[in-house]
Amino acid sequence: MKDILIMILSTFGALFILSSSIGLLRKPDIFLRISVTGKASTLGIGLILVSTALFFNNYSVTTRVVAIILFLFITISIGGHLLARAAYIIKTPIWKGTKIDDLAGQYDDVTHELYSEKHHSSIKPDPSDNI
Amino acid sequence: MSLQDYLNWVIIPILGLSVILVFIRFLKGPSLPDRIIALDMLILISICIIAIYSIQTNQSTFLDIALLFALIAFLSTAAYSFYLEQRERK
């Protein structure tokens, strides 16, 4: 019974990892690739680690697995956000099919600060600047 | 089919195939952020392989290495993106 549960969980985890890597290979744009790896790989790694915790079935392993899963849930999203921000600032080419780019002209070129209405900002974005 | 055979013949080949696909993106990657996200993904898949390997060898000590790899993945992504952003600043 426990073996069948471990088989099911690890199969779903491996399939999610496979789909996220196929998406990483096939998507046309860096931002879409970051989006794919952020979600599917988090779920896949979580399922495989839960199957490991089910196999060992004691407190020390379960604590480590919960620590790894919580850490990954926090850090994969933060790392994806940091990388997407850096990729937008250094002007990585966007996919041709992108309809609208709400961030166009909102970043200061020198200080890399985002424009804000409430605080004093050095830039004044043009509303007609969107693609 | 026992659990060991299943892990050996189904799960590990799927994970190996995904490592190959991500490595193709790592080699092709037109821009530097593509390579960084592929490197991050390689480390994350290696965490999965370590978890499966610790089931196969029945030793839970390998999970410490998985925790270490999770730390390294976040640190490398954060440091790469920080310096990538600083490089453009004159």
Q: What angle do CA B40, B43, B45 make, to 5 degrees?
A: 110
Write out the E strands in chain B: none
Q: At residue B16, does pLDDT exceed 90?
A: yes
At residue A120, the pLDDT reads 66
* Exposed / middle / buried, residue A82 (Cβ in 10 Å: 0-12, 13-18, 19+): buried
If one counts the domains in chain B, the total is 1
User: Greater confidence, A89 or A103?
Assistant: A89
pLDDT of residue A37: 86
pTM of the model: 0.88
A11·B10 Cβ contact <8 A: yes
- B15: tokens are 């994970």
Distances in whole angstroms, Cα of residue A67 to Cα of each of A49, A63, A76, A85, B63: 11, 6, 14, 27, 11
Nearest Cα of chain B lies from the Cα of A116 at a distance, in angstroms, of 20
The closest of A127, A131, A64 to A97, measured between CA atoms, is A131
Mean pLDDT score, A96-111: 79
Measured in angstroms, the CA of A40 and the nearest CA of chain B are apart by: 11
- Among A6, A24, A85, most B C-beta atoms within 10 A, so best to mutate, is A24
CB contact at 8 A, A21 and B41: yes
At residue B90 the predicted structure's pLDDT band, cuts being 50, 70 and 90, is: low
Residue B41 touches chain A, beta carbons under 8 Å: yes
A103 vs B: CB within 8 A: no
Q: Which of A3-12, A43-52, A110-119, B53-62 has the lowest mean pLDDT?
A: A110-119
pLDDT of residue A102: 79
ipTM of the complex: 0.90
pLDDT at A109 over 80: no
Identify which of B14, B37, B48 has the shortest CB distance to residue A33.
B37
At residue B10's C-alpha, the angle toward residues A60 and A64, to 5°, is: 15
Residue A110 is predicted with a pLDDT of 74
Q: Spell out a b/e string for A98-117, using b for 16 or more CB atoms within 10 Å of the CB, else e.
A: eeeeeeebbbeeeeeeeeee
Question: How far is A34 from B36, CA to CA, in rounded Å?
Answer: 10
**B25–A contact, CB cutoff 8 A:** yes
Q: Which residue has the higher pLDDT, A93 or B22?
A: B22
Q: Which of A73, A124, A120, A130 is nearest to A99 (CA)?
A: A130
Q: Which two tokens stand for residue A22?
A: 């196929």
pLDDT 10s digits, A60-86? 999 999 999 999 999 999 999 999 999
**Candidate from B2, B15, B71 with C-beta closest to A14:** B15
| pLDDT at site A44 | 93
**Does residue B65 register a pLDDT over 60?**
yes
- % of chain A at pLDDT higher than 90: 53
Return the higher-pLDDT residue of A66 and A100: A66
Q: Which of B58, B85, B86 has the most A C-beta neighbours within 10 Å, making it the best mutation to test the interface with A?
A: B85
Q: What is the pLDDT of residue B45?
A: 94
Q: Does A87 sit within 8 Å of B73, measured CB to CB?
A: no
Give domain limits for chain A: 2-89, 99-131
Q: Dump pLDDT digits (tens) for B29-43.
A: 788 999 999 999 999
User: What pLDDT is recorded for position A128?
Assistant: 58
Q: Which domain holds residue B60?
A: 3-88
* Closest chain B residue to A44, measured at CA: B48
> Tokens 């969107």 sit at which residue?
A130
Mean pLDDT for the stretch of residues A29-34: 90
Question: What span, in angstroms and rounded, lies between the C-alpha atoms of A116 and B5?
Answer: 58
